[in-house]
Amino acid sequence: MTGDFVRCSRVLMLVACFSATSLPLVVAAPAAAKELASEQGVTGLVRDLSMMKSFNATFHQWVSDAQNHVLQEVTGTMWVQRPGLFRWDTNDPYPQQIISDGEVLWIYDLDLEQATKRKLDKQVGNTPALLLSGDPEKLAESFTVRASMYEETGEVRYDLIPKHKGALFELLRVHFRSGKIHDMFLRDNLGQTTRIEFETKAFNKPIDAKVFAFKPPKGVDVIEDM
82 or 16: whose pLDDT is higher? 82
Task: Identify which has the larger pLDDT, 28 or 194.
Answer: 194
Residue 134: the pLDDT is 57
Would the CA dihedral through 71, 76, 82, 83 be positive or negative? negative
Mean of all residue pLDDT scores within the chain: 78
Element (H, E) at 7: helix 3-14
Sign of the alpha-carbon dihedral angle for 176, 178, 181, 185: negative
Residue 207 sits at φ, ψ, to 5 deg, of: -115, 130
Residue 69 CA to residue 37 CA, distance in Å, equals 34
Determine the structural domain holding residue 106 and report its residue range: 3-213
What is the pairing mode between strands 221-225 and 114-119? Answer: parallel
- Name beta bridge partners: 145: 160
pLDDT at 12 over 80: no
CATH at 201: 2.50.20.10
Examine residue 222 and state whether it is found in any structural domain, yes or no. no
Share of the chain above pLDDT 70, in %: 74
Q: What is the pLDDT of residues 175-202, one digit of tens each?
A: 998 888 899 898 988 899 989 999 999 9
**Does 47 fall in a domain?**
yes
Domains contained in the chain, number: 1
Whether 220 is in a domain gets the answer: no
Structural domain contains residue 225? no
Per-residue pLDDT, averaged over 115-137, amounts to 66
126 in a domain, yes or no?
Answer: yes
155-166 pLDDT per residue, tens: 889 998 888 877
In the prediction, which pLDDT does 37 show? 54
pTM (two decimals): 0.76
Which range, of 49-53, 109-113, 193-197, 205-209, averages the lowest pLDDT? 49-53
Residue 28 has a CB neighbour count (10 Å cut-off) of 6
